[in-house]
Structure 1
Amino acid sequence: MTGAPSLRKGLEEALGSAIRSLARLADGHNAALWAVALADGRRLVAKVASGRGAGLEPEGFMLRHLAGRSALPVPAVHHADDRLLVMDRIDAGGGITPAVEEHAAELVAALHGITADRYGFPRDTLIGPLPQPNGETADWIAFFRDRRLLHMGRKALEEGRIDAGLMAGLDRLAARLPELIGEPGPPSLIHGDLWGGNVLSRDGRVAAFIDPALYHADAEIELAFTTLFGTFGDAFFRRYGEIRPLRPGFFELRRDLYNLYPLLVHARLFGGSYVGSVERTVRRLVG
């Protein structure tokens, strides 16, 4: 289903409507993005798998989970399988202004108020194109150690993105997690991939969050990631803190610790400077 004629046929079968127009928008790690206009007037976006990665069904599942279990604005999903994902097209424009940050803080704080009995999730999900293991446990430190930090580090080592010396540093850091993390927050539902490209805004408000990587976590891991690429800043954290106060030590220590996970994700995908960022953080935290 890589060309327009076969995509048109597949969409018409999946959606039960004739296609008025198709336009290719972009290519990602594991999928191409198409704008779809249906004869019945609907305007949709189709993701078409490129053959790499774990398939698109998990993304559809995660969006539907957020739509059904939270008030987080996400695009409605019309079809989801491993080859094809079809969603509403969200009208968006403009950057992430302080007003958007404040609205995002209210939405994300409400999401983090949805809690579970255990960290993780009943099924594995994805972070970008990479599998994300979510085996559930009541122990956040063990979850972060085994299913986030060491899992992603070992995969990066296997793929030649990091060397054995850096992996040894991650192992030493893993042994120090109880003292570095202390008492964690409860298992909160998180979006899991809140970089700026996944936050769509319009008229000073958040229009939708897209491309989640959800599971139940200490919410600080989500807050940390919003700072890694400058998604949100002071306006977000001021409003979020009014609703859900941050524990002492987040900005001073745990933000960098938790950002090792997305940095390792990016090291696997892109290598280069992300490996250096991992090295510097490990040196800072373990000496």
Structure 2
Amino acid sequence: MSAREAVERLLGVEVTGVRRSGGAVCLVTAAGRGVLVAKEGAGPGATEAEAAGLRWLGEYGDVPVPEVHAHDGEWIVMAYVPPTYPEAAAAEEFGRGLARLHLRGAPAYGSPPPGGPADAWMGLAPMRNEPGEDWASFYAAQRVLPYVRMCVDQGLYDTEQAAVFERLCARLPELGGPPEPPSRIHGDAWSGNVHWAQGAVWLIDPAAHGGHREADLAMLQLFGTPLLGHILGAYEEAAKDLDAPLAEGWRERVELHQLFPLLMHAAVFGAGYARQALRAARAALG
């Protein structure tokens, strides 16, 4: 099914124009609806997971997210928000809003958004969301070891290299800092999903789940988010004001929380990310 056919079927309106906008995303002009984003899911459950994630993240309005107009098992149709340039005031408001969003909480580490499937996606990679007992066991079982195994199967790691990740997982209760309750996180907050528009920062394309708030902060730092210092400074200040300051040493744990996206990228895109993930694991081990 094409983007045109999907939008016309899901919304019951005539589509007057379609323009490809990278990957599986199209900008669609629909009669009476203006410009919409039509996005094809990466695999089974992807559109359901994205729709549920956007609803969950946008529930309290802490950070703006696009409105979902409709979705099915193949396509999701959302409001189009034209991009603008990064601004310091928007960055700082985003940092404060993200702190509030995280503290909305989640039922458990690994829990999916309400109505979202357990088998979700992060970009082109499958991602399992299954509630765990604590952060360490969740992170090992659902965010590190499955992707290490995928990398081993592709010949990206040998047995000795895979053992580095296994040693790290055994030490996660010690390395992860003080225990804290699960946060409501975006899950894939790299710079491409931090969308500057209408004088604000919007969050798009989530891999939302109950996770550690330091994971979103680490992802912001992985691929060069604009005005990062403004975002993190405002986040830290807001977290303190909300009586939930970041735990001491959170900056030293950035590489620990970057392991998941690096391993996921390694499994999808290959050896360069595999080397980077291995370096991050060794650095986290100290």
Compute the TM-score of the two structures, normalised by the length of structure 2: 0.88
Q: What RMSD in Å do the two structures reach over aligned CA positions?
A: 2.0
Q: Which structure has the higher relative contact order (CA within 8 Å, separation 6+)?
A: 2
**Matched ranges for 1:1-287 at <5 A:** 1-2=1-2, 7-27=3-23, 32-49=24-41, 53-54=43-44, 55-68=46-59, 71-94=62-85, 96-122=86-112, 123-124=117-118, 125-202=120-197, 204-206=199-201, 208-231=202-225, 233-244=228-239, 245-252=245-252, 254-286=253-285
Provide closer, same or farther for how the CA distance between residues 92 and 21 of structure 1 changes in structure 2, counting only shifts above 3 A.
Answer: same
For residue 224 of structure 1, report the CA deviation from its aligned partner.
Answer: 1.2
* DSSP-derived class of the 2:129 partner: coil
For residue 70 of structure 1, report the CA deviation from its aligned partner.
Answer: 5.0
Q: Indicate if the aligned counterparts of 2:177 and 2:247 stay in contact, CA closer than 8 A.
A: no
For residue 204 of structure 1, report the CA deviation from its aligned partner.
Answer: 4.0
Q: Indicate if the aligned counterparts of 2:49 and 2:207 stay in contact, CA closer than 8 A.
A: no
Q: Indicate if the aligned counterparts of 1:198 and 1:210 stay in contact, CA closer than 8 A.
A: yes
* DSSP-derived class of the 1:26 partner: coil
Q: Percent identity?
A: 37
* DSSP-derived class of the 2:63 partner: coil
Deviates more, 1:162-171 or 1:81-90: 162-171
Aligned residues: 274
* DSSP-derived class of the 1:274 partner: helix
Rounded Cα–Cα distance in structure 2 between residues aligned with 1:199 and 1:33 = 16
Letter in 2 for 1:47: K
* DSSP-derived class of the 2:22 partner: strand
1:238-265 residue CA offsets vs partner (Å, 9 max, x unmatched): 111111122111112x111111111101
Compute the TM-score of the two structures, normalised by the length of structure 1: 0.88
* DSSP-derived class of the 1:43 partner: strand
| Unpaired stretches in structure 2, ≥5 consecutive residues | 240-244
Letter in 1 for 2:259: L
Segments of 4+ moved more than 4 angstroms: none
Rounded Cα–Cα distance in structure 2 between residues aligned with 1:40 and 1:233 = 38
Rounded Cα–Cα distance in structure 1 between residues aligned with 2:235 and 2:59 = 23
Letter in 2 for 1:91: P
Letter in 1 for 2:261: P
For residue 164 of structure 1, report the CA deviation from its aligned partner.
Answer: 2.5
